[in-house]
Amino acid sequence: MLTTVLAFIVTLGILIVVHEYGHYRVAVACGVKVLRFSVGFGRVLLRWQKHPEATEFTVCALPLGGYVRMLDEREAPVPANEVHRAFNRQPLSRRAAIVAAGPAANLLLAVLLYAASHWIGIDEPKAVLATPPAGSLVEAAGLRSGEWVRAVAPDGSDDWQDVASMSDLRWRITQAALHGEALRLQVSDRDGRGSRNVLLDLTTLAVRDVDAALMKRIGLVGSWSEPLINRVEAAGPAAKAGLQRGDRVLAIDDQPVADAGQVIDRVRASAATEGATPMRWRIERAGQVLDVTVQPRIARDGERRFGRIDAQFPSPEMVKVRYGVVDGLLRGAARTWEISALTVKMLGRMLIGEASLKNLSGPLTIADYAGQSANQGFAYYLGFLALVSVSLGVLNLLPLPMLDGGHLMYYIVEAATGRPISERWLERLQRGGIALLLTMMSVALFNDVARLLGLH
């Protein structure tokens, strides 16, 4: 819990400071006087100012945002000798540059964070497939448990791209699914022997949510790991059945087992009835084949029931994904562009009803993921921070009043008409923008709570 809170505070602090620093730095470069640089809103907790005429830097009690207050005749009288430093007196190009600098700073930060994550390197599961669910696209394509996806290419193209890990494979397939494109996969066995090409027809999917359910429909439910018992907890169902460390599971209820994921799924499904159903296991131990009966216990997660046997299986094989300085930067820029395009696409689809509003996330989800990524390691946390930085940059560029994109929209109208939008219309647009933002925040918070309660 403490890690989650600290990671969330650090995440907000870094992203807010970088965003506002973008506005501040370009304003100063354009000769505009900055009165205050604030992290947070409300009561001032910390204050620093070099001298009375310099910018005042503050940290306030409510940390969900920040602002840069510039000299502006629309907000307060400006001395005649400083009128030339007022924001509202600047040429249109300078005002637009100052406003756009905040989101641009977040996007640039994302490039650097993704690059740093690539430079450090991340341990990720190898792109070896677990048993695909029945009826999934992966199963329909003829892919099998234990096959290693080495590269992917759009259908009809020979532009093969190497697949670095299971996370990389998920990302490429998700993008293809959202674009309604088929994808060719180059696969071999998990040791790299043999090679064949398989067509994954993603054009049949109607994608509304990018979530675990989508991955299950596609057939990417996890990475392959051996059906080998790694640990047995004392007095648990596995121990009572006589299972031991090193036992290899060959079949359950006369159905062959290809990987640990199948074992786990069948154990969990055993609690579908009131009492967990006993299971007949065939195992291999020290070269001998044995039959044992395993009686799972029932566990609960809220209203959900599932079976457990209190035994563990090996983790999937991991690979270190790391790139050099130049390649890391290029991949950081590419990933930032891909995430930005995906964010805009999903927002557009939500707007026209082709994607669910469940895809909106709020501060509780961000805090949860911040804690999880921090626990996984520094490189993972940098990747998470980059993702949120991209989202903040893109969202602020939306043409909504109260956001930077809304101000840029005003400037586009001013450039087209030769005069600024009237104060009357500005006031109306601001009210509409506040109402829309509050609605979006309410939906995002509702989704957060629903996810925590297991309703999504």
- Residues forming the active site: 20
Query: DSSP secondary structure string, 364-429?
Result: HHHHHHHHHHHHH-HHHHHHHHHHHHHHHHHHHTSS-TTSHHHHHHHHHHHHHHSSPPPHHHHHHH
Contact partners, residue 227, CB within 8 Å, separation at least 6: 248, 249, 250, 257, 258, 259, 260, 262, 263, 313
- Cα separation of 409 and 403, whole Å? 10
Q: What angle do CA 156, 160, 161 make, to 5 degrees?
A: 135
With contact defined as beta carbons under 8 Å apart, do 128 and 223 qualify? yes
- Cα separation of 311 and 238, whole Å? 6
Displacement of CA 433 from its chain's centroid (Å):
26
With contact defined as beta carbons under 8 Å apart, do 252 and 264 qualify? no
Record the tokens describing residue 233, joined without a space: 């907890």
With contact defined as beta carbons under 8 Å apart, do 279 and 263 qualify? no
Q: What angle do CA 371, 129, 193 make, to 5 degrees?
A: 130
- Cα separation of 78 and 197, whole Å? 70
- Cα separation of 129 and 137, whole Å? 13
- Cα separation of 346 and 210, whole Å? 9
With contact defined as beta carbons under 8 Å apart, do 166 and 127 qualify? yes
Contact partners, residue 83, CB within 8 Å, separation at least 6: 73, 89
Record the tokens describing residue 182, joined without a space: 């088929």
Q: What is the DSSP letter of 194?
A: -
- Minimal CA–CA distance to 94: which of 435, 453, 425, 407? 407
